[in-house]
Every structure is written in C-alpha cells, then in structure tokens.
Structure 1
Amino acid sequence: MAHTDTSGLTQLGAQTAAPQSPEEAVLERVPASHKGADYMVRFTAPEFTSLCPMTGQPDFAHIVIDYVPDQWLVESKSLKLFLTSFRNHGAFHETCSVEIAKRIVDLLDPKWLRIGAYWYPRGGIPIDVFWQTGPQPAHVWVPDQGVPTYRGRG
C-alpha cells in the first residue's frame, strides 16, 4: 500500500488560524500516491462565502472542484483554509471562481481541473461560473457535478 509523504506540511495536525485573505492563505500539496493512474478527485464546498466588492455584503456559493492529479494532490486542510480566506475578500463572483481554480492549478499542475461555482442570487439573479484547463479526459470517469440550476422556492 502506498504511503503519502506529509513531512513538508505546515498546517495539517497543527492549530492553524484562518487566513485573512486569499493572498495570505498557504495552499499545500502532497505527492500523489498512485502516479501513472488517472483518477478524478472532487472537493465540494457547499457553504463558500465571499464579499461583494461594491457593497461589502456577503455572497454565497456552492463550489465543486474536480481534478485529475499528476504528481501532486492538494492537502485538504490547506484547501479548506484557503477557501475560508475568501470570507473577508471582496471580489466579483467570476473573479473568486477563476482565482480559486488558477491557484490550485499553479500549485499542482494537474492533468486536468474544472471548477463549477454555483452562486446564490444577488439582486435576484444567480450567477454560475465554470472554468476548466482543457478538454475533459475521455478515459477518466467524471460524474456530473450534481448541482441543479437555481430554482428558488419553485
């Protein structure tokens, strides 16, 4: 059985304060245990929050991140802290969504990554943001993200 090397991590297993901004947040990675095997990893953050850059009011989203690792995996505690760092961050939905994806891509250099950011309505209009690094791998099972189109109470 493969063992994941966690020796370089600074946050896992330690008391770690929530970062105050995405720039301050430290995303960490661990070596992928199954190098050469193509598989998909999914992270779901159903209670993501950020701030409207114009009003300072909170915005809420259900975010789904799918990726096919190459040499690295994102360490999940650091990802949670990174996503939490947006709570005090003012940015438009599109900016938050793509910034999250690009930061993970810069860290991992995965074979493929996509993000689906399903934002709850602001001003009565929900905004969904989708971004990916390239074509979906044909030989990897990539399930639907399972987030329905916003319907309100109906």
Structure 2
Amino acid sequence: MTATDVSGLTQLGRPTAQPGSPEEAVLERVPNPHPGTTFCVRFVAPEFTSLCPMTGQPDFAHLVIDYLPRDWLVESKSLKLYLTAFRNHGAFHEACTLDIAKRLVRELEPIWLRIGGYWYPRGGIPIDVFWQTGTPPEGAWIPAQDVPPYRGRG
C-alpha cells in the first residue's frame, strides 16, 4: 500500500453505520506519507460524550489527542465513528480516556502518544485525565494542549 492508496479502507467515502459500542468500532489506518520525519498529529474532540456507568446520565469531555506517527496515521472518519461509539457506552472518565489512548497505540504503534481528557463537572468537580506513552523524543515539537481549567460560571 502506498501513502496515497486508500483501497483497503471500508468506511471512507461511503455510508457507514454508527458502531453500537467502542469494541465494535473499526479503527482504520493509512500509511504515513512521511515516515522517518518526526511530526505531531493532533485531534480535538470538544464534544465527546459517554455515559456514567452508575446513573446512565451523559458525561461530556473535551479530548485532545496528540501523537507522533511511525508508519501509520489514523483515518479520521473511523476515529470520529469510534469516538461517537462512546455515546451509549457506560464507563468512568478514567476508563474512557485510557481506553481511547491504548486502542490508538495498539492500532497505530506511534512513536509517542498523549491524551488529555478534560471532563466537565460531575457533582461540581471536573475530572481531568492525562496519559502518555513515555517521554517524547528530543527535538519533537509538541504544542501545549492549552485547554483552560473549568471555571464554571465565574
């Protein structure tokens, strides 16, 4: 498969049903067009939703995913479908955030990945969840996530 060959993709450019769960979601990848070049890819999902596993009430987060690709890039439509599969999925904030990051690491085998899960308050307390695979390589430019802390109505 060349860097522009998308023939193996099953979702891009065609109608795709919403997956029933994150486990059912298909994450697809495409070849990195610049292997050997260190660069950062950022995905921001400011309207991520999941369900509280105890109450079934919706939870909302602003997710920021940064990764340094090795051989693969995540195909963005499949990532969007994967993230929206959490809408009917009950899990605590920490589980959602880490499940997303670890699935991306498993599928992409990036040089480095980090996720910031900036969750809106539940019971008056926002819960922010951060994880990364290790220290980024020297010389990599990785912008700050710059998501302001939750200020409520203040």
Shift of 1:136: 2.2
**CA–CA separation in structure 1 for the residues paired with 2:4 and 2:42:** 18
> RMSD across aligned C-alpha pairs, in angstroms?
1.0
**CA–CA separation in structure 2 for the residues paired with 1:131 and 1:3:** 29
CA deviation digits over 1:8-66, x for unaligned, max 9? 10000010011110011000000000011000000000000000000000000000000
The farther-off stretch of 75-84 and 142-151 is 142-151
Shift of 1:138: 2.3
Q: TM-score, normalised by structure 1?
A: 0.97
Match in the other structure for 1:21: 21
Match in the other structure for 2:134: 134
1:4–1:32 Cα contact (<8 Å) kept: no
Opposite residue 35 of structure 1, the aligned amino acid is P
2:50–2:86 Cα contact (<8 Å) kept: yes
5+ unaligned residues in a row in structure 2: which ranges? none
How many residues are matched? 153
**CA–CA separation in structure 2 for the residues paired with 1:34 and 1:65:** 20
Q: TM-score, normalised by structure 2?
A: 0.97
Sequence identity of aligned pairs in percent?
74
1:1-150 equivalent positions in 2, closer than 5 A:
3-150=3-150
5+ unaligned residues in a row in structure 1: which ranges? none
2:64–2:117 Cα contact (<8 Å) kept: yes
